[in-house]
Amino acid sequence: MQRSECPISTTLDLVGDRWTLVILRDMLNGKTRYAQFLDSPERITTNVLAVRLKQMEADGLILKTPYQLKPRRYEYVLTEQGRALHGVLKEMCRWANAYYPKTWTPPEDFMT
């Protein structure tokens, strides 16, 4: 649901929740599989992860492809559109690093 044609509220309609950009961060860092997302320190639940991945796919942020047939398992990769949110994440890092000094410093290659 798009609340207005404002680019900020449009972005928030898609990724304005606590989890989507955390999953996207993991994908930018090379994670592709369910178990890898579950393993992150924020401890997303399987339930929330499944709902978020489905929504991200519907929104064109990620692609889901099978990597094993029996039993069928999937991996998830960012689309160009999903990958393009990297700039938003970098700005979030700069902001949190400036105001919350205990937050981790991201790897240099994430910030360039």
Taking CB under 8 A as the binding criterion, the range among 30-38, 49-57, 62-70, 88-96 that sits at the site for its own copies is 88-96
- Say whether residue 23 binds its own copies (CB under 8 A): no
Burial bucket for residue 90 (CB in 10 Å: 0-12, 13-18, 19+): middle
Rounded to whole angstroms, how far apart are CA atoms 68 and 35? 14
Taking CB under 8 A as the binding criterion, the range among 18-26, 31-39, 45-53, 69-77 that sits at the site for its own copies is 18-26
The residue from 22, 32, 55, 74 that contacts its own copies (CB under 8 A) is: 22
- Say whether residue 87 binds its own copies (CB under 8 A): yes
- Say whether residue 47 binds its own copies (CB under 8 A): no
Taking CB under 8 A as the binding criterion, the range among 31-39, 46-54, 65-73, 90-98 that sits at the site for its own copies is 90-98
Contacting residues toward its own copies, per CB under 8 A: 3-13, 16-19, 21-22, 25, 40-43, 81, 84-85, 87-100, 102-104, 106
